[in-house]
Amino acid sequence: MVTNEEKRGTTTLLQSTERAVELAEIVADARDFVAASRAENTTRVYRTGWAQFTAWCDEHGVTALPATPETVACYVADLAKVAKPATIDLRLAAISAAHRAAGHDAPTKAEAVRLVRRGVRRTLGTAQREVRPITVPDLRMMLEGLGTDPAGCRDRALLLLGFAGALRRSELVGLDVDDVTEGTDGLLVRLRRSKTDQEGAGRTVGVPFGSNPVTCPVRAWRAWLEVSGVTDGAAFRPVDRHGHIGATRLSAPAVALVLKRHAARAGLDPDEVSGHSLRAGLATSAAAAGVPERVIAEQTGHKGTAMLRRYIREGSLFRENAASAVGL
């Protein structure tokens, strides 16, 4: 016969077990939220950077975690032989994140590391490789020869929507059909999440009708929907050489390949073109046309002004040029 004391003990044990299970579930949820606090691309870059650092440490017989400032300083000096300053900064960010996650102080803050990093930047410079902006004349050449078949219609819509909306390739491939609605003045493109909006607040971009039917993004969007028959889900999808449209979402690298392919066909250097070229092209072209910085920023969604002003300066090199006014 089970005594009352034994029953109470059993009840207490069960309650403790339930609390432990509940706590474990809460801990698991917390880990998921921590993982979600960083963009997927950032997490991937950190993971790759940390793996490369630990491999270097193994090769040189030093401890990766916790690493000494001297180890990190030597790693930076060695990495500078093959990597650009921007890449080195990403690796240092990965090392710092890994140490903080493990409860250690980040060795990247040490004076030895900062001095080596500063010397690398002074020696190698900090200029980043800039992609070629796809301007309107470039875009017209890239559109020439595109047919009315599924691949042609998709690529035309991809190029024109990406350019007119100043969209990143991740934003383009992330679009669903329901995210694009047509109004009296053009398309309303709802961006549910972007690089600078990781919490998913979202924003809406207006894509107006084009004055030329050949370069009108609204007409291109209509043609793609008509030929594809896509009514929901992913807006842009793979198209095979037989014209069959896939059910999956087009990948971000595929957007860059589409751009490079049509750039090469138009006589442009495909190595200078990337998925960012459409976005850069709209900002540069708008600046050349005299569009105010505030209006360009509203379209591109730039939070800061440093990168945007780089495009604006390039677009304004000859519109506002001191040498053009001195009578040469």
Q: Which positions are catalytic?
A: 168, 195, 276, 279, 302, 311
In 3D, which of 170, 169, 192 has the Cα closest to residue 180? 192
Identity at 150, one-letter amino acid code = P
Q: Which two tokens stand for residue 245?
A: 């449209």
DSSP structural state of residue 201: -
Q: Which two tokens stand for residue 12?
A: 């207490």
Please report the DSSP string for 68-105 in residue order. PHHHHHHHHHHHTTTS-HHHHHHHHHHHHHHHHHTT--
Contact partners, residue 85, CB within 8 Å, separation at least 6:
117, 120, 121, 124, 125, 126
C-alpha dist (Å) from residue 295 to 14, 298, 309: 63, 5, 13
Q: Which two tokens stand for residue 232?
A: 């929901």
Length of the chain: 328
d(CA 14, CA 116): 58
Provide the 3-class DSSP secondary structure of residue 114. Answer: helix
